[in-house]
Chain A
Amino acid sequence: MTEPSADSRTVVVEREFLHPPEKIWRALTQPHLIEEWLMKNDFKPALGHRFNLRGEWGGVLDCEVLAIEPNRTLSYTWNFAHDDAAFDLRSIVTFTLTPSGTGTLLRMEQTGFRPDQRQAFGGAKAGWQQFITKLEQLLTRQD
Chain B
Amino acid sequence: MSKAQDTLFRTLADPTRRAIFERLCRQGEQTVGALTARSGVSQPAVSKHLGILKQAGLVRDRQDGRQTHYSAQLRALSPLIDWTSQMASFWEKRFDDLEDLLKRMDQ
Chain A residues in contact with chain B, CB under 8 A?
A: 9-11, 13, 15, 17, 19, 23-24, 26-27, 33, 36-38, 84-87, 89, 106, 108, 110, 114, 116-117, 119-121, 123, 128, 131-132, 135-136, 138-140, 142-143
* Known contacts A23-B105, A27-B102: A13-B88 contact under CB 8 Å: yes
Q: Complex formed: what's the CA distance from A110 to B92 in Å?
A: 13
Contact of B2 among A10, A86, A106, A132 (CB under 8 A): A86
Asked if B88 and A17 sit within 8 Å, CB to CB, the answer is no
Contact of A17 among B78, B83, B97, B102 (CB under 8 A): B102
Asked if B98 and A11 sit within 8 Å, CB to CB, the answer is no
Contacts of B88 in A (CB 8 A): 11, 13
The total of interchain contacts (Cβ-Cβ below 8 angstroms) comes to 94
Asked if B91 and A110 sit within 8 Å, CB to CB, the answer is yes
* Known contacts A120-B82, A142-B74: A86-B98 contact under CB 8 Å: no
* Known contacts A123-B1, A135-B77, A140-B89: A36-B82 contact under CB 8 Å: no
DSSP class of B's interface residues: helix, strand, loop or mixed? helix
**Residue of chain B at shortest CB distance from A10:** B84
Chain B residues in contact with chain A, CB under 8 A?
A: 1-2, 4-5, 9, 12, 18, 25, 74, 77-89, 91-95, 97-102, 105
Q: Complex formed: what's the CA distance from A13 to B98 in Å?
A: 13
A60: shortest Cβ distance to chain B, in Å? 16
6 nearest CB pairs, A to B = A86-B79, A37-B97, A13-B91, A37-B98, A116-B2, A11-B84
Q: Complex formed: what's the CA distance from A112 to B95 in Å?
A: 20
